[in-house]
Chains A and B, each alone.
Chain A
C-alpha cells in the first residue's frame, strides 16, 4: 500500500514539475538587458518649447530598455529656471548612466556651474529635474574662487545651497600689511 502511495506521489510530482516555466523566466531576463541601440560619437541636442536645453556628447553611448550608458561623456544643461543666477551646468565623467532623470557619474567626474563652482570627484549622483548633486566620497575644487576640499557633498542647484563634511577651505585675503 505504501509503495503504491509513493509511486503515485512521484508521478504527481513529475507531472507538476513539467509545467514549471523555467525556460521562460530565463529568457525574459536576457531580453531586458540587451543593448537596443549603440551610438558611436553621439552628439545629441535636446530642445524645449523655448530654446536648446541640453547637449550631450560622448565617445559612445549604449541605449538599453531601462537606461542609457554614455562613455567619456559631457552633458551641458542650460539654466531654464526663472532665476538666472547662472547660465550653464556641465557634467563630465568617464561613465554616465542615465535612468529617467537620474544621472550616475563615475570616474573623473567634473561638475561645473559657469565658472564659479567647479568640483572634481570620483562619483556623483545628479537629478536633472531637482538639480541636486550628491556623493559620499572625497571631492575638491573651487567655490567662488575659493579652494574647497571635503566629502559627502550635497549641492542643491535650485536653492543654491551646498553642504559637505570634513571641509578644508582656502580664501585669498588682500592684506594691507
Chain B
C-alpha cells in the first residue's frame, strides 16, 4: 500500500552526489495520520536498482522534534532531541531526552533511546547510566465502599 509522505519547510537543499536532501526552518512532515515537526530534517536517498529513481532510506529529524504516531492499535505522541525514521523497517527511534505517551491508556515513558514500531505498535525503551528509564502508569483505585 503506498502513502504520500508530505514535507513543508522554509528551506530545502539537495546534494545529489551525497544523496541527502535537507529541509530546515519549521519543518512539518505528515504521512497519513502520523505527524512530525522539527527544525531540521535530513532525508537520505538511495538509488533504486535499475533506474535513476531515488527512494528515501532514512529520515533524521533534529531540533525541537515532536511527533504523533497512529498505528492500527496504538496512538502515540512524543518528543526527543533526535528522531530517526526508517521507512524500510517502519520504525521510529527517539534519541536523547526521549518521551513517549501512549494516548490510549495514558502511559508515559521517559528514556534515552525509545523505539516505536509502526506495524506492530510496540514500543521499546533503553535508559542510560545516569538516566534510568521511567514509566508512569495511571492506576485507578477501587472505589471506597
| A positions within 8 Å CB-CB of B | 85, 114-116, 143-145, 148, 150, 159-177
Contact = CB atoms under 8 A, between A and B. Distances in A.
B12 A164 contact: yes
Contacts of B21: 169
Interface residues of B, number: 31
Contacts of B118: 175, 177
A170 B56 CA distance: 11
Interface stretch (B3-11, B102-110, B134-142): B3-11
Interface string B1-30: 111111111111111110001010000000
Among B12, B21, B52, B87, the one with the most A-chain Cβ atoms within 10 Å of its Cβ is B12
A168 B1 contact: no
B22 to A, nearest CB: 9
A140 to B, nearest CB: 13
A177 B72 CA distance: 9
A115 B48 CA distance: 14
Contacts of B8: 167-169
A165 B10 contact: yes
A49 B107 CA distance: 71
Across chains A and B, which 7 residue pairs bring their CB atoms closest together, nearest first?
A160-B16, A167-B12, A144-B54, A169-B7, A163-B13, A171-B5, A162-B14
Nearest to B119: A176
Contact of A169 (B12, B15, B16, B72): B12
B23 A169 contact: yes
A57 B84 CA distance: 48
Nearest to A168: B8
B11 A116 contact: no
Given A168-B6, A172-B4, A173-B87, A163 B11 contact: yes
A116 B53 contact: yes
A176 B7 contact: no
Nearest to A167: B12
B103 to A, nearest CB: 19
Contacts of B15: 159-161
B53 A170 contact: no
A171 B16 contact: no
B53 A150 contact: no
Given A144-B52, A164-B12, A169 B6 contact: yes
